Structure 1
Amino acid sequence: MPHVTMPSPSTPLFVNDGLLNPQQVGGLRASYPNEPLEDLKQRYQDEGYLFLKSVLPREDVLKAREAYFKLLEPSGVLAPGTAPVHGIFDGRNDKLDFPGIGAGSTDANGRPRGGLFVDLAMQAHTEPWYKEFCQNPSLISFIAKFTGWGDKTLSLRRTLLRNNTPGNKAIGVHYDQIFLRHGDDTSVTAWVPMGDISLDGGGLIYLENGHALGREIEDGFYVRAREAGLSEDEAKNAFNKNMMSGGLLADGPKGFAEAYGKRWLVTEFEAGDAVLHTPYTIHASTINKNASNVIRLGTDLRFVDSSKPYDVRWTNDYMFGDGV
């Protein structure tokens, strides 16, 4: 049966703008793939997300995790003598030299600093083992059934394979339609943790009822832009220009939660889990404070109904400066 995993009040949860207060934190509700489909659909509609336990084979996830860290091992990111699958950060390193994609500081060309580490992290997006992982039949078959799209279910080629090394900057507040606005707002994102993630290990956090707020923010700006005489394309571009750098609503989840009087929903994740969320579901991540220096790894997979208009910019592999 679905349940809410309540975080321990003794676990401090840090975000980009400080420590979340206990009253700002709630538990993410867990669901299971074998529950009645109509119940899962209603929960997704009501809450804006579906936290699925064990929807992928655990061994498939750990196999991909091991391949990723074997690829990145020459960068010196891993602690000597540790197995790549464990992804243990070498704490002797300067954390700023090992930034996560989309969260770290950038150089004059807009590339994250990090040299070989970043080059290998980008290369991972086109590795055969990763391409195979992104097409995992267990996840795709569930989404095809859950959405009713069937054989029209398309897994978009552009994905974001992100690491989060301990102590580094986390992902700020956003919703996905910001980046997929050149298509219908019917896409489904599957955030897949590639390994176990402790409560303080830098996992994703979801704003309570954030899907309703995200749609409200989107609709409110769009209406005002059209009333000002902007065309549809001009309205989209104007909206993007009003976002923070990188398409964020805010850099700090703490202040964002305070401004809207909402809680962030959090949980631990296990290899094999996935969170499905709507294009308007507001989410962010915590700073990785794992005591064992475990690197958080996860990927954002997007799915669309191929019979409807979708953002074709997402049909190419992710690369720096691709304009999305």
Structure 2
Amino acid sequence: MPHPETDFPDLYVNDGQLDPQRTGLLEATCPRTTPMAEMRHRLERDGYLYLKGLLPRADVLEARRKYFEMLAPTGILDPRTSPIEGIFDRSQDATDFPGFGTGRHGTGTTTSDTFMMLALRAHAEDWYRNDLCKHPALIAFVEDFTGWGKSTWALERTILRNNLPGNPATGVHYDYIFLRHGEDSVLTAWVPVGDIALNGGGLIYLENGHVLGRATEGQFTSKAQAAGLSEEEAKTAFNQNMMSNGMLSQDPRHFGEEHQRRWLVSAYEAGDVVFHDSYMIHASTLNHDENGVIRLGTDLRFVDGRGGWDTRWASIYRDDDGL
């Protein structure tokens, strides 16, 4: 479902509208017809590998249905719609339903407290933790793609994020910022849990962002050493060389302009998976879906269990775990 650049809707990030002239499309890959060697080459070349239909659509939508059935008591959903649609009730205050990873927390209302409790609890549910995050099709692909085989470990800490119309989007970052207590060979899989329109709040990737991410990491290390940080202190993302929440920036438009690179975007379908490496710089757009569809997606990480990996990611996500 490619969208010619001239057909782009207006796309917005935290600091305003993306310039259409600085916006491009992610290159999609078919996992059934593309040789494995070519897919490995594309990840190395581009920093990401966008696979269409890797997972069974019905299985992904089942996870979406169960998530919103679980969250329905909070009033998040339009009562005229079904849970699997995930349509936001616009009569509600969107700030009561913050997305994890955006730097926003609950508002302290009963609605918000209940939402945060249930959204966190979802991370431990079998239909999510095992049926989706460790889906056999996903695990089999990663085992083959990486060459790690049965040494492939799916890290237990995952982040199931919603993105409501009207709420802030995810800021600019690369994953190694948060995984610096281990090797940088971590492979991330971003899984959209449902269809996401082009302007529906999906992930966006900075063109050749993995190159800039590696350079940024080198600069970070130099700054940490110059600031007198110990090796252990330099491993944490929360220090004077980063924003307080570990982000490179909360302003994707300005960041892209500053580095003279395009943001690559796409609409997504249930069953799609985007893999990216530890240094690939990415963010998300604001959700401006005309129908009020709530964007739901999850970040999964895979490592070679024989190597050194960040053991802080061995436990199920908690909003106060400091990562």
Kept in 1, the 8 Å contact 2:87–2:293? The answer is yes
Unaligned runs of 5+ in 2: none
User: For the Cα contact (< 8 Å) 2:202–2:285, is it kept in 1?
Assistant: yes
Which residue number corresponds to residue 169 of structure 1? 168
Give the aligned partner of residue 266 of structure 1: 265
Q: Which residue of 2 aligns with 1:189?
A: 188
Q: 1:212 is aligned with what amino acid? A: V
What corresponds to 2:177 in structure 1? 178
Whole-angstrom distance in 2 between the partners of 1:4 and 1:292: 21
Are the equivalent residues in 1 in contact too, given 2:5–2:20 (CA < 8 A)?
no
Bigger mean CA deviation after superposition, 13-22 or 222-231: 222-231
Separation (CA, whole Å) in 2 of partners of 1:10 and 1:26: 9
Identify which of 125, 148, 151 aligns with 1:127. 125
Distance in structure 2 (CA, Å) of the matches to 1:313 and 1:6: 42
TM-score calculated relative to the size of structure 1: 0.94
Aligned residue pair count: 320
Q: Distance in 2 between matches of 1:140 and 1:55?
A: 11
Alpha-carbon spacing, 1:7–1:98, altered in 2? closer, same or farther (3 Å): farther
- Residue 115 of structure 1: SS of its match in structure 2? helix
What stretches of structure 1 of length at least 5 have no aligned partner? none
Superposition deviation, residue 220 in structure 1? 1.6
Hey, what's the Cα distance between the residues in 2 that align with 1:252 and 1:96?
Answer: 20
Q: Is the 8 A contact 2:164 2:294 kept in 1?
A: yes
Structure 2 distance, partners of 1:4, 1:280, is 26
Matched, 1:202 2:201: yes
Aligned-residue CA RMSD (Å): 1.9
Contact 1:7–1:199 at 8 Å: present in 2 too?
Answer: no
| Partner-residue secondary structure (3-state), 2:26 | strand
Q: Which residue of structure 1 aligns with residue 211 of structure 2?
A: 212
Local SS of the residue matching 1:26: strand
Matched ranges for 1:1-324 at <5 A:
6-34=4-32, 35-103=34-102, 105-106=104-105, 114-132=112-130, 133-226=132-225, 230-237=229-236, 240-324=239-323
Give the partner amino acid of 1:295. I
**181 and 141 in structure 1: CA distance in 2 versus 1, 3 angstrom threshold:** same
Q: Please state how far the C-alpha of 1:5 moved relative to its aligned partner.
A: 5.1
AA of the residue aligned to 1:201: G
216-225 or 81-90, which deviates more = 216-225
Secondary structure of the 1:96 match is: helix
What is the identity, as a one-letter code, of the residue corresponding to 2:49? Answer: L
2:96–2:106: 8 Å Cα contact kept in structure 1? Answer: no
1:245 deviates by: 2.5
Q: Alpha carbons of 1:292 and 1:108: their partners in 2 closer, same or farther (altered >3 Å)?
A: closer
Post-superposition shift, 1:243? 1.3
Shift of 1:242: 1.9
Q: Secondary structure at the match of 2:139?
A: helix
Alpha-carbon distance in 2 for matches of 1:201, 1:298: 12
**CA–CA separation in structure 1 for the residues paired with 2:75 and 2:227:** 53
CA contact (8 A) 1:4 1:28 kept: no
- Sequence identity of aligned pairs in percent? 53
Following the alignment from structure 1 to structure 2, what is the Cα–Cα distance between the partners of residues 6 and 246?
Answer: 35
TM-score by length of structure 2 reads 0.94
Contact 2:98-2:106 within 8 A present in 1 as well:
no
Distance 1:62 1:118 in 2: 22
* Deviation of 1:8 (Å): 4.3
The letter for the 2-side match of 1:17 is: D
CA-CA distance at 1:104 after TM superposition? 5.3
Asked whether the equivalents of residues 170 and 285 of structure 2 are also in contact (C-alpha less than 8 Å), the reply is yes
CA deviation after TM superposition for structure 1 residue 44, in Å: 0.4
